[in-house]
Amino acid sequence: MKGLTVKEEELMGYFWEKGPLFVKEMLAFYEEPKPHFNTLSTIVRGLEDKGFLAHHTFGNTYQYYPVVSEEDFRKGTLRNVISKYFLSSTYKCNFLGADNKQ
């Protein structure tokens, strides 16, 4: 699973909390100064390219919805951190109950 930027994770939080959304609806979640519509749209399309979102077409607009659950994302993130910082070191981390040496 690809990682997310802080802003991408923030937007995914809205999708996990609210469900399917149009980009225009997301503007209401921000206080002034609100981000530009095109900025949010670019980030959302990036999330779709990474496989986190998909969309339904309504005329000439899209309603986006999450295809990766928050739980799966959290598990994947924790797995990546453990793998990167503990399991790839000279000695495997006993944190996971593994008493293995490389």
pLDDT of residue 90: 47
pLDDT of residue 32: 94
- Residue 4 CB partners (closer than 8 Å, separation 6+): 12, 47, 50, 52, 73
| Whether the model pTM is above 0.75 | no
**Mean pLDDT over all residues of the chain?**
83
DSSP string, 39-98: HHHHHHHHHHHTTSEEEEEETTEEEEEESS-HHHHHHHHHHHHHIIIIITSSB--GGGT-
pLDDT of residue 94: 54
pLDDT of residue 101: 47
All residue ranges of the chain with pLDDT < 70 are 1, 76-102
pLDDT of residue 1: 60
